[in-house]
Amino acid sequence: MEVGTENIRLCVIIPTYNNAGTILQVAEAVSSVCQDVIVVNDGSTDKTPEILQALPETVTVVSYEKNRGKGHALVTGFRQAAKMGFTHAVTIDADGQHFAEDIPLLIEAMERCPEAIIVGCRNLTEENMPRQNTFANRFSNFWFRLQTGINLPDTQSGFRLYPLASLKGLNWITSRYEAELELLVFAAWAGVPVTSVNVRVYYPPVEERVSHFRPVYDFFRISVLNTILCIGALLYAVRQAFYTVFSFCYFLAFAVDMTVRGFFLLTLGGASEEHKLKYHRILQRKSRFVISHVPGSTFSYSNPHGETFEKPSVIISNHQSHLDLMAIMMLTPKLIILTKNWVWHNPFYGIVIRYADFFPITDTEQMMNDIAKRVKEGYSVMIFPEGTRSADCRIQRFHRGAFYLAEQLNLDIVPVFISGFGRVLPKTSWHLHPGRMSLEVMPRISRHDPDSACGYREMTKRLHHIYLEKNHEEVRRHR
């Protein structure tokens, strides 16, 4: 199933163990909503294998003889889905409690946040809801909130939508009933967003119900798992606290160092053009060092077309994180960045921005005159066309200011594409996460290029489309 506009490929995974009475009905209902279905037969010993043979060829069936547990069945389904080229997978139980017609609810939530795990939360007061299941769910919800800080109403629901790329590298302790809780905890610790939508649920009368839940044995396993996870949560919290403090000190040292250098070089030494350029060279060198040594992360720089930045231009880039500025500043010493007013006045690094002679964005003619003067002195101008950081690393709407400026000053445009910065330092987070960051300098767009004569409005649309395609390519590469 192709979803949305970002080439998201989605399938449905149905793990089953001895659900001969319901699996055919569930598979047919799911197939009417999504044509890509994977059924994982977890060593069933009833008539399930024979029934699965009656499914249409469009349904992929994966079977193994020995029952390994739901967790193992899910991993098997995820691997099969990834192998078949799917990017996202809905999981639905084979006992008929979920409604296949609710799958679009999960998809709608996923389109708002493609990197999140979407949990279909059931009404725990539904008629015929087993009392022991209700207690187990509340028990699980409590521990999940304690271990991750996330309030999720139904951590035991098997009706979920997973981004497969976010599951790579996650470790599993168990493979049975409690595996789904474990997966949520590890995903949350890895920075994967976890959210929920309300879905319907049907519980048949007791005499018709097939349940593999064993109250004593499974409660014991859940308790053991939660004990392990709580210890892990404590260690994780200590690690994150240390990591955050260390990272803050790391960047504070950079800001203090550049502030001191600016004071002696520009305030006491005089803000001559020679001193300003010297400060910019120091800023470039320091930025390159810091961005290449962000604790716990890696950084790669690509300039395949050999851009030298010697000829002034308007440099544009997508915007994901506070780290973006540092990555851009390492490109060339002769650079002026247009920033928002709050950035220019930021108490942490605002003084460095001011020493570097960056400009707060205004609509005044004076700003245009100041920029034109710096361009004549050989400086390029950098603007983030999105205007603000992206919370989920997607490309947002481009504003026209950068392209209007290039047209007015008769400047080339040099597009720069960054990736991974929003995952290392998300917009909504105060601490760093381990990850990979990269910066690629794309081909310069010359003012003498016939396509550049289209005007700044069309150029805005053209570059926005290029960045959307580049972002899609980057997402596909890391799946």
Q: What are the start-end ranges of the E strands in 287-432?
A: 297-302, 313-317, 335-339, 359-360, 380-383, 412-419
**Residue 10 main-chain phi, psi, to 5 deg:** -125, 140
* Packing angle, helices 131-148 and 215-262, rounded to 10: 20
Q: Is 115 helix (H, G, I), strand (E, B) or coil?
A: coil
Task: Quote the pTM value.
Answer: 0.62
Q: What are the start-end ranges of the E strands in 159-250?
A: 160-163, 194-198
Neighbours of 44 (CB within 10 A): 21
For every one of its 479 residues, what pLDDT tens digit does the chain have, with 9 covering 90 and above? 656 545 689 999 999 999 998 999 999 999 999 999 999 999 999 999 999 998 988 899 999 999 988 888 999 999 999 999 999 999 999 989 899 999 999 999 998 888 899 999 988 666 555 555 566 677 778 878 877 888 898 888 999 999 998 887 666 556 555 678 788 888 887 778 899 999 998 876 555 545 555 555 555 566 666 666 666 666 666 666 676 777 777 778 888 888 899 899 888 888 888 999 999 999 999 999 989 988 778 999 999 999 999 999 999 999 998 889 889 999 999 999 888 777 777 777 778 888 888 888 776 677 888 889 999 999 999 999 998 888 778 888 999 989 999 999 999 999 999 998 988 888 776 677 778 899 999 999 998 776 666 788 889 999 999 998 888 777 666 55
Determine whether 219 is exposed, middle or buried from the number of CB atoms within 10 Å of its CB (0-12, 13-18, 19+). Answer: middle
Can you tell me the distance from the alpha carbon of 162 to that of 403, in angstroms, rounded to the nearest whole number?
39
